[in-house]
C-alpha cells in the first residue's frame, strides 16, 4: 500500500506526495545533511539546516533558497480533519527517545523552567541531528542520560513536573 504525505512549505504552499513518487527521484547522498536530487531533468542541491523530528518540521536549503517544511502523514491529516489537536493530549511528563541514537547535547538542567517548544536536547540518529523539544510547559524534574550516551527507542530521557 502506497503511503501518502502532505508537505507544507513556508506555511503557504501544500503538496501531496506518495511514497512511490519519492522513490522515483534520482538521489545522491553527499553527506549526512547534503543531497543532490535530479527530478524531471532538473538538478537540485539540498542541505538540511535544521530538523525537529517530533514536530516533523525541517529547514532545508534548495539551490540557495531556504524553505521551512512540515510533513504530515495520513494519520496526522485524519487527526486534523477530525478536529483533534496533538497539543491537547500533551499531558505526558516523560520525554522518551523517539528512536535509537546518540545524545549530542543536553540544553536543560534539573529545576529549570521550560516552555512548550523549548529545545531540551539534541539526539543524533541516522546521521541527522534531531532537536527534542518540550511538549509542554513545566520544570525539569530529572535527566536520565549524559552527553555521549547512546539510547534505544522508548528510553526515558527527561522527566518534567
Structural domains for the chain: 4-76 (no CATH), 90-160 (2.40.50.100)
Q: How many residues does the chain have?
A: 161
Query: How many angstroms separate the CA atoms of 92 and 66, rounded?
Result: 34
* pTM, two decimal places: 0.52
Give the model's pLDDT for residue 89.
45
- Taking the C-alpha atoms of residue 24 and residue 20, their distance in angstroms, rounded to an integer, is 7
Query: Is the Cβ–Cβ distance between 155 and 132 less than 8 Å?
Result: no
Query: What is the residue whose three cell numbers read 520544570?
Result: 139
pLDDT in tens, the chain (161 residues): 688 888 899 988 988 888 888 888 899 999 989 999 998 889 999 999 998 877 889 999 999 999 999 998 888 877 777 766 544 444 578 999 988 999 999 999 999 999 988 999 999 987 888 899 998 899 999 999 999 999 999 899 999 99
From 125, 71, 131, select the one nearest 99 (Cα to Cα): 125
Amino acid at each position: 500500500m502506497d503511503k501518502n504525505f502532505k508537505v507544507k512549505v513556508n506555511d503557504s504552499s501544500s503538496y501531496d506526495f506518495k511514497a512511490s513518487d519519492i522513490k522515483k527521484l534520482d538521489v545522491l547522498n553527499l553527506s549526512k545533511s547534503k543531497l543532490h536530487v535530479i527530478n524531471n531533468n532538473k538538478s537540485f542541491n539540498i542541505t538540511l539546516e535544521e530538523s525537529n523530528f517530533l514536530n516533523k518540521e525541517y529547514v532545508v536549503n534548495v539551490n540557495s533558497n531556504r524553505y521551512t517544511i512540515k510533513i504530515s502523514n495520513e494519520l496526522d491529516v485524519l487527526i486534523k480533519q477530525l478536529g483533534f489537536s496533538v497539543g491537547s493530549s500533551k499531558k505526558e511528563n516523560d520525554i522518551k527517545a523517539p528512536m535509537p541514537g546518540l545524545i549530542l547535547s543536553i540544553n536543560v538542567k534539573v529545576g529549570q523552567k521550560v516552555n512548550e517548544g523549548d529545545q531540551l536536547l539534541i539526539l543524533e540518529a541516522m546521521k541527522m541531528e534531531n532537536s527534542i523539544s518540550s511538549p509542554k510547559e513545566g520544570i525539569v524534574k530529572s535527566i536520565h542520560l549524559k552527553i555521549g550516551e547512546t539510547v534505544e527507542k522508548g528510553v526515558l530521557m527527561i522527566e518534567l513536573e
